[in-house]
Amino acid sequence: MPRPRPHRLFTKPTRRGVLYGALVLLVLLFVPLIVASSRWLHGSRIDLTTDKLYTLTPGTLHIVDTLQRPLRLTLYFSEHATRDLPQLRSYEQRVREMLQEMVARSHGRIRLQIVDPVPYSDDEASAEGSGLTAANGGSNGERVFFGLAGSVMSGSADSSEGGDERVADKTLAIAFFDPAREAFLEYDIARLLYELNQVSKPVVGVISSLPVDGNPVLGEQRWAVLQQLGQLFDVKMLDPTTLRTVDGNIRVLLLIHPKRLPPDAQYAIDQYVLRGGHLAVFVDPDAELDTSPYAPDSITFPDHASDLPRLFKAWGVAYDPHKIVLDRARALQIELGGTSLNHPAMLDLGAQELNRNDAVTASLQRINVSTAGYFDLAADAHARLIPLLQSSAEAEVVPTQRVLDASTDPSSLLQGYKPDNAHYVLAARLRGTFDSAFPERAATPGHRARSAPDAEVILVADTDLLSDRLWVEPQTILGQTMMRVFANNGDFATNLVDNLSGSSALLSIRGRSTSQRPFTRVQALRNVADQKFLQKEHELEQELADTRRRLDELQPAKGSHGSAATAEQRREIEQFRQRQLAINKELRDVQHQLNAEIDSLGLRIKFINIVLVPALVVLIGLLYGWRRTRYSRRRR
């Protein structure tokens, strides 16, 4: 008689029951997690790009977090006009994502609107009224708007109706987002936010021994560069003879051609820099607009040089006020005595001589300087010298007196010219920790002996670049006098002051990597093909030269043996044509080989992404399922 099985209080759960239970548990766990993350973590992002393109720098975060006024940003982008411009459309996405990142960080203090200003619409008029510049070259000849307008909102919004009745009381704009400035995209937008958040114009102090402010008594106007600065800043002239301290409200101090500054004024400048003030120094071995007749210790030639020997020594700067940089490769063409000539002491600096990685000079194309000096670091310097403007490698340094002696015949400066094969620094950022140049005044109340780390001073070894004659000239149009700009000297000064006038957070924002990620393997293939093309082109040019030389040799024989010479010429020409066809075929073969290698690389990448990777995933899944099935069978 079979024995009855004992009654089990708990039955063993089936596999299906375990699966259903796990699914219910996942639902109960993930649904609250998703709801919570959508409510409290909606602004959180993870930047997985190599160069952290979408991660805002600490300087930008500080500017956004300290906004005190509500801002409205309007991104104008011509969607229809750019349908055939993929590069610009890709860059627009980059700009929009950067703006959205800042909006997410602002916690409602920044509102972003994206507008497509179609032709002849109110949006197009609004874009132009906000200061945006349209570019030509869009689809069907349409104008392309791609800029940002920012405004400070005042008043209150009617939240009950969802409208916005705030009125803009300050508007600034980025006229056009140039893809060439992508490395400074974050800086440009952060600067716009910073300037919108300012209540009043930043104060710029100027100390100069040159007549930069003009002379109303003599009918002399303020220099154009100061007029341009006056549109953006509150420019104040300071008297060095009575200067004892530099006010803290002066955002930037411009020191232009300092000559025989009193010790108290030098000490005031020294302490201003050590307190974190922003200083730009313009010195010159020969300031051509200096009207002082003679130096106190010299009666041979006028003293038109300027220097800051005590401060430069404390900062670790090497500068010789009696040396001028010549550069025959960048000599500026001038008119002298009705004759056009190139002046090796007056330089036309192009894009290659400008630092393309600095916000001050990145977008500039041409700067003219005259009788400029140069800077270097002293042997005991603890700072860094970051060039902004520099000469070409064809430059040579000569004494100031030699340039003065050649004033009536500048071409004589090229006699015995010997390039130094060095790029001389004409303007630079000096960055580091500075010691006071006046340690003997340590007992003075409030004295600072050392600056904070990464203090900064901008040095320029020329004052003539600020003068009107090197970058603007007046011209009369319809009875009105206008200034025609032919160089970027004024933009250089404005960018310099604009960059220094920002907060330390704004100054800390450097150039970023671009979002364009080239295919390095494809580029390498193209480089190899280019080398092959260059070699073939060189062979073709050599054969052309040889054939023409051969034909020239046959020409004299044409008088006595005309028919034979003509036949020989025809044979030469026919042989050359055949060879030319053969070389052209080889060039096509190289191009076809290049295209075949690129196509093969593309097919391999597609095969890996479309076939190989999914096949590996499926194989791993099948292997895992087979092992689970085999393990289950063993347990049974």
Of 22-26, 130-134, 492-496, the range with the lowest mean pLDDT is 22-26
Cα 476 to Cα 468: distance, rounded to the nearest angstrom: 16
Is the predicted pLDDT of residue 544 greater than 80, yes or no? no
pLDDT band (50, 70, 90) for residue 339: confident
The predicted pLDDT at position 158 comes to 44
Average pLDDT estimate for 131-142: 85
Average pLDDT estimate for 604-632: 79
The predicted pLDDT at position 580 comes to 65
Angle separating helix axes 86-106 and 58-65, nearest 10 degrees: 60
Q: What is the DSSP string of 25-42?
A: HHHHHHHHHHHHHHHHST
User: pLDDT above 90 covers what percent of the chain?
Assistant: 43
pLDDT band (50, 70, 90) for residue 185: confident
Q: Locate the DSSP E strands across 433-564.
A: 455-460, 472-477, 480-485
pLDDT band (50, 70, 90) for residue 558: very low
> What single-letter DSSP state applies at residue 135?
B
For 343, the 3-state DSSP assignment is: strand
- CATH pick for 58-157+164-196 out of 3.30.70.100, 3.40.30.10, 3.40.50.300, 2.60.40.420: 3.40.30.10
Give the residue among 426, 433, 420 at the shortest CA–CA distance from 387. Answer: 426
Task: Name the phi and psi angles at 520, rounded to 5.
Answer: -65, -35
Is the predicted pLDDT of residue 400 greater than 60, yes or no? yes
Sheet holding 146-154, edge to edge: 110-115, 71-77, 146-154, 167-174
The predicted pLDDT at position 77 comes to 96
Instruction: Classify strands 323-327 and 331-336 as parallel, antiparallel or unpaired.
Output: unpaired
The predicted pLDDT at position 140 comes to 77
Contacts of 347 (CB under 8 A, 6+ apart): 325, 327, 330, 331, 332, 368, 369, 370, 372, 391
Average pLDDT estimate for 253-267: 96
Q: Locate the DSSP E strands across 257-338.
A: 278-282, 317-319, 323-327, 331-336
The predicted pLDDT at position 560 comes to 46
Average pLDDT of the chain to the nearest whole number? 82
Amino acid at position 220, single letter = E
Average pLDDT estimate for 150-158: 68
Is the predicted pLDDT of residue 459 greater than 90, yes or no? yes
Is the predicted pLDDT of residue 191 greater than 80, yes or no? yes
Average pLDDT estimate for 180-186: 81
Task: Give the burial string for 132-152 (b: 16+ CB within 10 Å, else e).
Answer: bebbeebeeebbbbbbbbbbb
Tokens of 51: 């160069």
Is the predicted pLDDT of residue 161 greater than 50, yes or no? no
Angle separating helix axes 562-607 and 520-554, nearest 10 degrees: 180
Task: Name the phi and psi angles at 441, rounded to 5.
Answer: -100, 25
For 386, the 3-state DSSP assignment is: strand
Domain residue spans of the chain: 58-157+164-196, 202-321+371-391+418-507, 520-557+571-635
Cα 115 to Cα 123: distance, rounded to the nearest angstrom: 7
Element (H, E) at 265: helix 263-274
Instruction: Classify strands 250-256 and 278-282 as parallel, antiparallel or unpaired.
Output: parallel
Burial class (CB in 10 A: 0-12, 13-18, 19+), 172: middle
C-alpha to C-alpha distances, 204 to 79, 125, 249, 311, 383, nearest whole angstrom: 41, 34, 9, 21, 25
Give me the CATH code for the 202-321+371-391+418-507 domain, please: 3.40.50
Contacts for 118-125 with beta carbons within 8 Å, 24 or more apart? 118/78, 118/80, 119/143, 123/76
The predicted pLDDT at position 545 comes to 62
C-alpha to C-alpha distances, 351 to 69, 348, 481, nearest whole angstrom: 39, 10, 30
Is the predicted pLDDT of residue 574 greater than 80, yes or no? no
Tokens of 248: 């803290």
Average pLDDT estimate for 64-81: 92
The predicted pLDDT at position 217 comes to 74
